[in-house]
Structure 1
């Protein structure tokens, strides 16, 4: 039954149990009625499942103390607001968190599943239950699998570069990988993304313990945005299933000029409505906003003229009369010598006001 539960969720298993019980008591008419009811109940969950692009993740082989996380992305496809009521896990080996509980139309969020490698060992499975309150009650189940080793340790549990400005080389970050039971254990090679320069060297070798130091450098070619990647360590483990180990790499590469929020979500708006929003621009050195290109006269922008590392831009948008989707691009120009311009996409939906 444990293997079968990977294919059918707990609700489907409950339905099957009810089918067998009702068959013994009332025969085929009761089964037919229950099948109709249960099918409708399961279909009612589909609106929530459609927002997710996948429902399971295998962390593979992890080591004690290793930092590992996976993100299940979902997007509000509907006109109504989507609100999460609760998020739980069936196993403490996986700690769930959601980045946003209330989503407007077209907004996205992530369910973050973090592996708890300090308190758990061996083969572990967890089901994350995401329960929605709006627009209708529903539940989506996400599944995580992992095998946590006790004989290998990473110190610290991940490589973290912090925040780095694009085009610059960040200081090198090191991590110690140790095997606690084999004196002949070796790291044979490493594989890393092309924007990382990685080297490794043996630190010590004693009876029953071997330690290696890995050094990673973030190259200036690293792409802008969040870094969530891995470095592969290929070892000489006798068991081929345990031979490959992965070190999580994380950090944030920020452009010389950034703007937030981006994209700018204005949600559902009515014809003729005036929408007020603010944008925050930030750079490493003081700068001024020179001009803003807007797609139409519906946009009015205001900004100061004093140099600063942080600039505030006020936006007033008069919603057009024609219902439909909004997807406009604003281009902001500054006096920065390099990469002095940035674009912001405005997204929303114009809907007719409801008639009373």
Structure 2
């Protein structure tokens, strides 16, 4: 009897352990899928350069994700959670800043992202790079800030070098057609040389966040390539907030209401709002404004099942703009 009891307790404990471990294992694999990019090498960078990289977060699930914290294994990198809550069907980012002003030489860090909802999970990201002391950028990067679509912008960075008297920049590698560059040597002497790098953002730049890199090619045989970070935000002509709409469970023929904020660069009128599989109604504003607060009524016409698709808003006029927001819903049987 005692042996049977012990066997029974052992089996029960093994079963409990298996159940307890299943969500964690499931969560780990599921959470890894949130980060399409898990490693980044900054390469060889200048001291005091503004060296950053945004790890994109893409939540392709039907559940909101909460990032509670992120820690770094080395002080050479400072991680920042830019999107604490990543809603279902939406995206976010985590910013890794390489601390080039206080660290030198070869450095790297593991970033551990801790997710506590809907279930606990950890995801590990990695950054590496080499911070050289003989090159200084001022400012530390090319930062365009917010730029309206179709506009041009221009920034200049000073590049200073101290070391060999024959050091020079021989080329600039640029694979981005909407970035135009020009380089001018401004001074040379006493084993020091200074350049001015001018970067122009053309009117062909796409809407969205700009995270690019130019590479200075030098005659330094040991470390010939030095990257220059280029960033900015080309604003959309029309945006919808929220960008992801979780309707929840509805029946075919059931109507739900959703408040939307639609913003544009210039005053506009709304021509139509459509979402495939839904009858959409709204009270069209009679006056053109740069911001509209709308109540949209959506009636489900889909067959039962999971729905995932865009709601599309179009403005009136010859130069009509289009904006989209993601709609998710669970269409259940009547």
Structures share fold, TM-score greater than 0.5: yes
**What SS is found at the alignment partner of 1:298?**
strand
1:346 match: 326
**How far apart are 1:281 and its partner, in Å?**
2.2
Which one of 287, 293, 298 corresponds to residue 306 of structure 1? 287
Q: Which has the higher contact order (CA 8 A, sep 6+)?
A: 2
C-alpha distance in structure 2 between counterparts of 1:297 and 1:123, whole Å: 56
Whether the 8 Å CA contact 2:44–2:130 is kept in 1: the answer is: yes
**What SS is found at the alignment partner of 2:282?**
strand
Unpaired runs of 5+ residues, structure 1, are 1-32
Which one of 6, 10, 29 corresponds to residue 46 of structure 1? 29
Equivalent positions of 1:1-356 (< 5 A) are 43-44=25-26, 45-170=28-153, 172-192=154-174, 193-239=176-222, 242-255=223-236, 257-261=237-241, 263-266=243-246, 268-271=248-251, 272=254, 274-283=256-265, 285-293=266-274, 295=276, 298-320=279-301, 322-335=304-317, 337-338=318-319, 340-350=320-330, 352=332
**How far apart are 1:51 and its partner, in Å?**
2.4
Name the CA shift for 1:226/1:78 in 2 (closer, same or farther; >3 Å). closer
Name the CA shift for 1:249/1:262 in 2 (closer, same or farther; >3 Å). farther
How many residues end up aligned between the 2 structures?
Answer: 312
Whether the 8 Å CA contact 1:104–1:267 is kept in 2: the answer is: no
- Residue-by-residue CA offset, 1:310-334 (whole Å, 9 max, x unaligned): 3333322234572321314424122
- Residue-by-residue CA offset, 1:249-293 (whole Å, 9 max, x unaligned): 1122234x312237443253333362412132212x333334445
**What SS is found at the alignment partner of 2:89?**
coil
Unpaired runs of 5+ residues, structure 2, are 1-13
2:7 match: none
Whether the 8 Å CA contact 1:84–1:101 is kept in 2: the answer is: yes
Whether the 8 Å CA contact 1:275–1:319 is kept in 2: the answer is: no
More strand per residue: 2
